Structure 1
Amino acid sequence: MSLPRSLPILLLPLILLGHLSAYAEAPAVGPDMNAYYHGADHDRWRDIFESDGREVYDRRFEILEALKVRPGMRIADVGAGSGLYTMLFAEAAGPTGRVFAVDISESFVTAIAARAAQAGLGNVLPVLSQQKSTELPPGSVDLVFTSDTYHHFEYPRAMLDSIRAALVPGGILAIIDFRREPGVSNRWILGHVRAGREEVIAEVEQAGFKLIDEPIKLRLNYFVLFRKVDA
Structure 2
Amino acid sequence: MHPEGRRTKRRRHHCRQVLLATGLFAALGGCAPTVIDVEGHRVFNPAYLFYLESEARDGWQKPQEVLEALRLPADAVVADIGAGGGYFTERLARHLSEGGRVYAVDVQEVMIDALRQRVSDRGLSNVEVVRGRFDDPNLPEGSCDLVFFSSVYKEIDNRPAYLERVRRCLRPGGRVAILEYRPGELAPGPPRWMRLSAEQIVEELEDAGFEFIEAFEFLPRQSFQVFRPNGAGRDTSARLPS
TM-score for both structures, normalised by structure 2 = 0.72
Residue 189 to residue 111, structure 1, CA distance change in 2 (3 Å): closer
CA distance in 1 between counterparts of 2:150 and 2:93 reads 16
What 5-or-longer segments of structure 2 have no aligned partner? 1-35, 233-242
CA distance in 1 between counterparts of 2:187 and 2:64 reads 26
User: Highest Rg: 1 or 2?
Assistant: 1
CA distance in 1 between counterparts of 2:162 and 2:60 reads 25
SS at the partner of 1:214?
Answer: strand
Alignment partner, residue 20 of structure 1: none
Cα drift, residue 167 of structure 1: 0.6
Matched, 1:159 2:162: yes
Alignment partner, residue 206 of structure 1: 207
Alignment partner, residue 105 of structure 1: 108
Alignment partner, residue 90 of structure 1: 93
Matched, 1:229 2:230: yes
Partner deviation per Cα, 1:45-92 (whole Å, 9 max, x = no partner) = 431112244468641111111111232110000010110111011111
Matched, 1:219 2:228: no
Matched, 1:120 2:129: no
One-letter amino acid of the counterpart of residue 207, structure 1:
A
Alignment partner, residue 42 of structure 2: 33
Partner deviation per Cα, 1:158-204 (whole Å, 9 max, x = no partner) = 211111111112211000001114xx6579642233x3221111001
One-letter amino acid of the counterpart of residue 87, structure 1:
E
Indicate the RMSD between aligned Cα atoms, in angstroms. 2.4
CA distance in 2 between counterparts of 1:216 and 1:126 reads 30
Contact 2:60 2:221 (8 Å CA) reproduced: no
Taking CA–CA contacts closer than 8 Å with sequence separation of 6 or more, which of the two structures ends up with the larger relative contact order?
1
One-letter amino acid of the counterpart of residue 222, structure 1:
S
SS at the partner of 1:62?
Answer: helix
Residue 206 to residue 116, structure 1, CA distance change in 2 (3 Å): same
Q: Which moved more, 1:44-53 or 1:153-162?
A: 44-53
Contact 1:205 1:211 (8 Å CA) reproduced: yes
One-letter amino acid of the counterpart of residue 142, structure 2:
G
Count, aligned residues: 194
